Amino acid sequence: MPSGTLLYAQSGGVTAVINATASAVIQAARARRVRVLAARNGILGALREDLLDTASLTAAEVRGLAHTPGGAFGSCRLKLKSADEDRAKYERLLAVFRAHDVRWFLYNGGNDSADTALKVSRLAAAAGYPLTCVAVPKTVDNDLAETDCSPGFGSAAKYTAVSVRECALDVAAMADTSTRVFVYEAMGRHAGWLAAAAGLAGQGRDDAPHLILFPERPFDEADFLARVDAVVRRVGWCVVVASEGIRTADGRFVADAGGGRDSFGHTQLGGVAAHLAGRVKDALGLKVHWALPDYLQRSARHLASATDLEHAMAVGRAAVDCALSGQTGVMPVIVRDADAPYRWHVDIAPLARIANHEKTLPAGFIRRDGYGITAAARRYLSPLIAGEAFPPFGRDGLPVYVVPAMKALRRRLPAWTG
Amino acid sequence: MPSGTLLYAQSGGVTAVINATASAVIQAARARRVRVLAARNGILGALREDLLDTASLTAAEVRGLAHTPGGAFGSCRLKLKSADEDRAKYERLLAVFRAHDVRWFLYNGGNDSADTALKVSRLAAAAGYPLTCVAVPKTVDNDLAETDCSPGFGSAAKYTAVSVRECALDVAAMADTSTRVFVYEAMGRHAGWLAAAAGLAGQGRDDAPHLILFPERPFDEADFLARVDAVVRRVGWCVVVASEGIRTADGRFVADAGGGRDSFGHTQLGGVAAHLAGRVKDALGLKVHWALPDYLQRSARHLASATDLEHAMAVGRAAVDCALSGQTGVMPVIVRDADAPYRWHVDIAPLARIANHEKTLPAGFIRRDGYGITAAARRYLSPLIAGEAFPPFGRDGLPVYVVPAMKALRRRLPAWTG
């Protein structure tokens, strides 16, 4: 049995399968007889010494996490600055790690979390503290560098494609006397991956979604309205998928949620569909409905992609392998071997090539007119939404999600006042 | 083989299971060797003599309709006025019925459609034309009188309860440093049935949804904000479910979509969640996210309730029985025999007791404080979301929905110019 403790934490926006990664981490560590602590609410739990002992979880609870959305241990949005700027925080982290004999730190998140893991890894090395830091990929935005895809994205992509196909059938039935235009707002921040996934809902140019608005292309309202009008004239109705992060040519967001910025400096997005719906109604006089699924799209474990679930568990297992073999400052990544039939494996990438990078949609994935996806995009996206992984449902008609009660470890250090 | 043709049409907002009713109608009629025509886009298709011959559908296509959302033949929002005001329309309908030997008319819709079916039935009788008119219940709003529940509601209710449970797990994980309040907007117009169904997502007072806003209770902003604040202080976060149709004490909608009114005189609703989110942010300074699933909640066939699906098919079969046995001016309804274990049967109710009535949520279903559901509501709602009825999924990861191409019958009458 290796001596020391493994600390696992979740960071940033949660997904339908981040708990599946947690489940795989705990199972892999248990198989190696390694103790796993979880920090409550991400890196904040480590700073606060708010640590949960996963030993209290039964084997059934650990397995149940694999079909439970949300973040079982809590997540956080907190970005550590440079070692100089946030010296007190880094020193506190190392003090907490020392106090609980934490030798392996697994941080499950996106770009910012990879950056945090890298900084902690460097600082521990500089301080001579033996710590192995491994980032574990997760984001519905699919904007992580070095990995072919990010766990969490495939399930959100499947939700998006299925929802757009379903609501399109609704609009088609209503269009004669009622709703002509439907606007669906997809998450994704500055990357159009989820909006692109909506393209899987249809095949030909008269299939929904008829128009996809990507953040990678400047939004031109007059051109957009002309195209909506043309689709309605040709097809009778029009389904638009708009990425929350679309901007006009001068770089301004078409709509933001007015919620200010988070500690990462990110603007809160949301509201683009309502804005576009208003413009379509005013300019074209057509009845419009719109949907903003927001968190529903990233928590819909009931519609998870089986492929995505396998990825999420595989990176969890690989992260434990990396950690226990002493590979620090790395992240397990998904490598694609073939599109069809889809084959993949897990590799290891250095965090320096991942931290703070943002993988945008390749230009070759966006149709030349800017409003749809190409065959190359379909080849990339299709395998990621393949397969169903329904959670168990109870007799009450609801999924049986596992929310284990866990007690925090007794603190060994003074309270954190940072 | 009975002589004559059965005409089936879909009306109003479509649902996840209205095509299951269509499937059952066609199968029951085929078993009796009765020819089934479908009017394209509801009663408008009858007026326009735009009729589809369902004989062209293969048996597999007919079965496939039972797992396909939307309205396979198209729907419409068109309310016929009194016989005096809309005489030309009624005369045209009878002319089309005569031209195609339509002896049985099945109109699948809500309150307004029941009214239309009743008027057509009376007019045919007055004109001495042998026509049997049967309304077939359908509405996600569950506001049809005389029936214990309306097909379509159970699936939308299941979608609502599952989605609220899922996004609540997301918010719980984010609340420490990010989103504290989540507002989910439910459909339902003037009736809080779908908002009430969200209550099934949790059990205790600290479970989400923490606050439900019903259209049956006047919205008091100050009281609402104080309760959100109290929940956040107690639980750490708060999930609010708001019915689109909530009004202040003076009767004004808290938010409307600015889309004007439809031909039934209904105001287009939608936007209440965004409005409430803004108020929570401004008044309480908390980070808020909100979701507006809109059509997604009524087209999510992937998450249909097995109970609802059985209801939808049972009323379709019963409607054919009613029609062929000459019972005019009636609607098959669901009668509940027991809550647990749930037992039910189909009965027949006269349209005069249904048309233009609206069944609101019983006062006894709303908790005394006005912000949650009672045990009686749970007893009523629970069986309606029980059981899963997943559609088949293809290897592409998407549900296999059936959208049959159908040719319109050759017209026998001059074009309708009404």
Using a pLDDT cut of 90, give the percent of chain B over it. 87
Task: From chain A, pick out residues whose CB is under 8 angstroms from the CB of B170.
Answer: 14, 69-71, 295, 298-299
Lowest mean pLDDT among A388-392, B293-297, B352-356, B365-369: B352-356
The residue among A17, A167, A381, A382 with the most chain B CBs within 10 A of its CB, best to mutate, is A167
Nearest chain B alpha carbon to A78: B177
Query: What CA–CA distance (Å, rounded) separates A297 from A305?
Result: 12
Task: Give the per-residue pLDDT at B418.
Answer: 79
Nearest chain A alpha carbon to B260: A287
Q: Mean pLDDT throughout A284-309?
A: 97
Task: From chain A, pick out residues whose CB is under 8 angstroms from the CB of B277.
Answer: 257
CA distance to partner chain A, nearest, from residue B166 (Å): 5
pLDDT (tens digit, 9 = 90+) per residue, B47-74?
A: 999 999 999 999 999 999 999 999 999 9
Task: Give the per-residue pLDDT at A189.
Answer: 84
The residue among A18, A158, A170 with the most chain B CBs within 10 A of its CB, best to mutate, is A170
Please name the member of B168, B295, B388 whose beta carbon is closest to the beta carbon of A171: B295
Task: Give the per-residue pLDDT at B196.
Answer: 98
Task: From chain A, pick out residues whose CB is under 8 angstroms from the CB of B341.
Answer: none
Per the prediction, chain B carries an average pLDDT of 94
- Range list of H helices, B41-149: 43-47, 59-65, 87-99, 111-127
**Chain B within 8 Å of A292 (Cβ-Cβ)?**
yes
Using a pLDDT cut of 70, give the percent of chain A over it. 96
Judge whether B315 and B332 are in contact, CB under 8 Å: yes
CA distance to partner chain B, nearest, from residue A325 (Å): 30
Residue at A356: amino acid letter? N
pLDDT band at B1 (very low <50, low <70, confident <90, very high): low
Containing H/E element for A104?
A: strand A102-109
Judge whether B168 and B209 are in contact, CB under 8 Å: yes
Query: What CA–CA distance (Å, rounded) separates A179 from A163?
Result: 17
Using a pLDDT cut of 90, give the percent of chain A over it. 87
Task: Give the per-residue pLDDT at B265.
Answer: 55
pLDDT (tens digit, 9 = 90+) per residue, A7-25?
A: 999 999 999 999 999 999 9
Per the prediction, chain A carries an average pLDDT of 94
Contact check, Cβ <8 Å, A298/B170: yes
**Chain A within 8 Å of B294 (Cβ-Cβ)?**
yes
Of A102, A105, A103, A104, nearest in space to A43 by CA: A105
Residue A257 has pLDDT above 60, yes or no: no
Query: Which residues on adjacent β-strands are paired with residue A219?
Result: A248
Is the pLDDT higher at B269 or at B80? B80
Task: Give the per-residue pLDDT at A180.
Answer: 97
Contact check, Cβ <8 Å, B169/A387: no
Judge whether A104 and A4 are in contact, CB under 8 Å: yes
Task: From chain A, pick out residues whose CB is under 8 angstroms from the CB of B387.
Answer: 397
Cβ burial B219-249 (10 Å sphere, 16+ → b, else e)? beeeebbebbbebbeebebbbbbbbbbbbee
Judge whether B377 and B201 are in contact, CB under 8 Å: no
Q: Mean pLDDT throughout A30-38?
A: 98
Residue B412 has pLDDT above 90, yes or no: yes
Name the B residues in 25-54 with CB < 8 Å from any A CB.
Answer: 41-42, 44
Tell me the backbone φ, ψ of residue A170, rounded to 5 degrees.
Answer: -65, -50
Task: Give the per-residue pLDDT at A119.
Answer: 94
Structure tokens at B103: 């002896």
Name the A residues in 200-259 with CB < 8 Å from any B CB.
Answer: 200-201, 257-259
Task: Give the per-residue pLDDT at B269.
Answer: 60
Query: Which residues on adjacent β-strands are paired with residue B405?
Result: none
Task: Give the per-residue pLDDT at B262.
Answer: 46
Contact check, Cβ <8 Å, B173/A75: yes
Pairing verdict, β A102-109 and A5-10 = parallel
pLDDT (tens digit, 9 = 90+) per residue, B175-227?
A: 999 999 999 999 998 899 999 999 999 998 899 999 999 999 999 999 999 99
CA distance to partner chain B, nearest, from residue A278 (Å): 8
Please name the member of A166, A287, A291 whose beta carbon is closest to the beta carbon of B259: A287
Burial group, residue B58, by CB count within 10 angstroms (0-12, 13-18, 19+): exposed
pLDDT (tens digit, 9 = 90+) per residue, A92-138?
A: 999 999 999 999 999 999 998 999 999 999 999 999 999 999 999 99
Nearest chain A alpha carbon to B178: A77
Contact check, Cβ <8 Å, B77/A173: no
Distance of CA A416 to the CA centre of its chain: 30
**Chain B within 8 Å of A173 (Cβ-Cβ)?**
yes
CA angle, residues A138, A139, A143, in degrees to nearest 5: 115
Q: Mean pLDDT throughout A214-238?
A: 97
Q: Mean pLDDT throughout B380-401?
A: 98
pLDDT (tens digit, 9 = 90+) per residue, B237-266?
A: 999 999 999 999 999 988 765 545 444 455
Nearest chain A alpha carbon to B11: A174
Task: Give the per-residue pLDDT at A142.
Answer: 96
Please name the member of A258, A295, A300 whose beta carbon is closest to the beta carbon of B289: A295
Query: What CA–CA distance (Å, rounded) separates A203 from A237?
Result: 16
Q: Which residue is listed with tokens 């928590």?
A: A299
pTM recorded for the entire structure: 0.96
Task: From chain A, pick out residues whose CB is under 8 angstroms from the CB of B158.
Answer: 397
Q: Mean pLDDT throughout B365-392?
A: 98
Q: Mean pLDDT throughout B312-316?
A: 98
Distance of CA A183 to the CA centre of its chain: 22
Judge whether A171 and A179 are in contact, CB under 8 Å: yes
Q: Among the options A50, A112, A141, A256, which is catalytic?
A: A141
Task: Give the per-residue pLDDT at B317.
Answer: 98
CA distance to partner chain B, nearest, from residue A353 (Å): 27
Residue B105 has pLDDT above 60, yes or no: yes
User: Which stretches of A35-101 are assigned E, i.e. beta strand?
Assistant: 35-39, 51-53
Of B236, B271, B273, B275, nearest in space to B256 by CA: B271
Query: Which residues on adjacent β-strands are paired with residue B243?
Result: B186
pLDDT band at B8 (very low <50, low <70, confident <90, very high): very high
Is the pLDDT higher at B357 or at A320? A320
CA-based radius of gyration for chain A: 22
φ/ψ region of B414 (left if φ > 0, alpha if ψ in -120 to 50, else beta) reads beta
Judge whether B151 and B159 are in contact, CB under 8 Å: no
Residue A259 has pLDDT above 60, yes or no: no
Using a pLDDT cut of 70, give the percent of chain B over it. 96
Of B184, B180, B207, nearest in space to B281 by CA: B180
Task: Give the per-residue pLDDT at A283.
Answer: 96
The set of catalytic residues of B is 141
Residue A262 has pLDDT above 50, yes or no: no
Task: From chain A, pick out residues whose CB is under 8 angstroms from the CB of B159.
Answer: none
Task: From chain A, pick out residues whose CB is under 8 angstroms from the CB of B287.
Answer: 259, 268
**Chain A within 8 Å of B199 (Cβ-Cβ)?**
no
Task: From chain A, pick out residues whose CB is under 8 angstroms from the CB of B386.
Answer: 395-397
pLDDT (tens digit, 9 = 90+) per residue, B114-127?
A: 999 999 999 999 99
Q: Mean pLDDT throughout A399-405?
A: 94
Contact check, Cβ <8 Å, B398/A161: yes
pLDDT band at A417 (very low <50, low <70, confident <90, very high): confident
Structure tokens at B215: 């259209």
Q: Mean pLDDT throughout B373-378?
A: 98
Query: Which residues on adjacent β-strands are paired with residue B212?
Result: B241
Residue B318 has pLDDT above 80, yes or no: yes
